[in-house]
Amino acid sequence: MERSPKLNAKKSRIRLLHQYYSYTGFYAFIKSSLGKVIVPISLFIIGLWLVHLYVIDFHDLFTSITTTYSPLIILSVFLATESLLGLVPPEIFIAWAGKTDTPILYLSVLALISYLGGIISFFEGKAISKVPSMKAYFEVKMAKHMKMIRKWGGFLIIVGALLPIPFAMTSIAAGLIHYRFRNYLLFGLLRFVRFYLYAIVIFNIF
């Protein structure tokens, strides 16, 4: 049975995209980026596990945090971290959400805040692009991110939203090059997918 022309055309486009990403170094970039973060993340997780075993019970810790600080304070801290280079692993906040009375609700709020934090970072990038001295500084500091997002656009935003690569950095770079905001909003929605997958696979919230 012959394949339909539409199916053949679709497979041809997928093959061409694969070749393009291979030739332009996209896969190598993702591999390199993951290699840089996997070791620190693994060490961080091992460190947390050792602290949990020998220093403090994280169940008690997060229960204490939940009773000591209001959700508004914790969510505000998370928004700040997600808007400023994303230096604090969101997994810590997901773990906190798991100790609340309504974990699914707070997990969803965290995902929304992370999405909004990316939008703030996007506009930070746009604002930076209007200040010549700051633009020149960030173009040097973020040269690799800017080059990659010019080359691969939305696909890099998708990867940044899903994988443990600083999403704020990708968002700032997108703002710096004035990437189309509508497309950024669309691709950034995959940030929600990452949070739910983390909750299911790692923290067993559901």
- What pLDDT score does 33 carry? 64
Report the predicted TM-score, pTM, of the whole model to 2 decimal places. Answer: 0.71
pLDDT tens-digit series, residues 50-101: 776 777 766 666 667 767 788 899 999 899 988 887 777 788 888 888 888 8
CB atoms within 10 A of CB 200: 11
Query: What confidence score (pLDDT) does residue 5 get?
Result: 60
> At residue 66, what are phi and psi to the nearest 5 degrees?
-60, -35
Q: Which residues of the chain have pLDDT under 50?
A: 1, 205-206
* pLDDT of res. 36: 62
Rounded CA gap, 203 and 50, in Å?
17
Which amino acid would we find at residue 77?
Answer: V
3-state secondary structure 112-165: HHHHHHHHHHHHHHHHHHCCHHHHHHHHHHCHHHHHHHHHHCHHHHHHHHHCCC
10 Å Cβ neighbour count for 54?
Answer: 7
